[in-house]
Amino acid sequence: MRDRGVVAMTDACSSGLVHLSSLSLSHNRVASLEGWCEPLGSLVELNLNFNQLRDLDGLCAPQLKKLCLSSNHVGDVALRGLGKRFPHLVSLGLFRNQVRDLPAALAELRRLPRLAELDLDGNPCARANPGRLRDALSCTCSSRYHDR
């Protein structure tokens, strides 16, 4: 459903997504994830790149392994509690967002025990000190990180 002008998940739409394992809504106008909890219980991969998201409030996808949020407006507050909400997360794309506080972000990301891929480039925290970000990410992720 790429580039379809999607703004929100409606009850009518979500009722048919109970068993969905992968969903791509990139290049839309999604600004809120409120109400997305029930329909996404089986979701393993979610692509929300190029939308208007500032936070992840309302998203409940306990089986999620891959979350793509590049080119949104996601900030530091949105990262709080990721480990509890997405315990199976392996890949997190946060390229070109609004993450500013590198130590706080890394503290939250370390609570994701399976995280192996992370992209924080293009955020204010990366532009402020790219060498520190590279060093910190190599210690945070178990296998690799993205550095553009």
CATH number at residue 91: 3.80.10.10
Q: State the Cα–Cα distance between residues 115 and 2, nearest whole angstrom.
A: 26
Give the neighbor-by-neighbor strand order of the sheet with 22-24. Answer: 22-24, 45-47, 66-68, 91-93, 117-119
Judge whether 148 lies within some domain: no
Total residues found in the chain within this entry = 148
CA 115 to chain centre: 12
Judge whether 63 lies within some domain: yes
Judge whether 30 lies within some domain: yes
Q: State the Cα–Cα distance between residues 131 and 138, nearest whole angstrom.
A: 11
Judge whether 145 lies within some domain: no
Give tens-digit pLDDT for 43-62: 999 999 999 999 999 888 88
Instruction: Provide the number of structural domains found in the chain.
Output: 1
What range does the domain containing 27 cover? 11-140
Strands (E), the chain: 22-24, 45-47, 66-68, 91-93, 117-119
Judge whether 106 lies within some domain: yes
Judge whether 18 lies within some domain: yes
Judge whether 43 lies within some domain: yes
What are the backbone angles phi and psi of residue 86, rounded to the nearest 5°? Answer: -130, 65
Q: How confident is the model at residue 144 (pLDDT cuts 50, 70, 90)?
A: very low
State the pTM of this model.
Answer: 0.85
pLDDT at position 4 = 61
Structure-block tokens of residue 74: 């996601």
Does 82 have pLDDT greater than 50? yes
The answer to whether residues 33 and 58 touch, using CB atoms and an 8 Å cutoff, is yes
What are the backbone angles phi and psi of residue 85, rounded to the nearest 5°? Answer: -80, -35
Give tens-digit pLDDT for 110-142: 999 999 999 999 999 988 776 666 655 555 554
Q: pLDDT exceeding 90 applies to what percent of the chain? A: 59
Q: State the Cα–Cα distance between residues 72 and 84, nearest whole angstrom.
A: 22
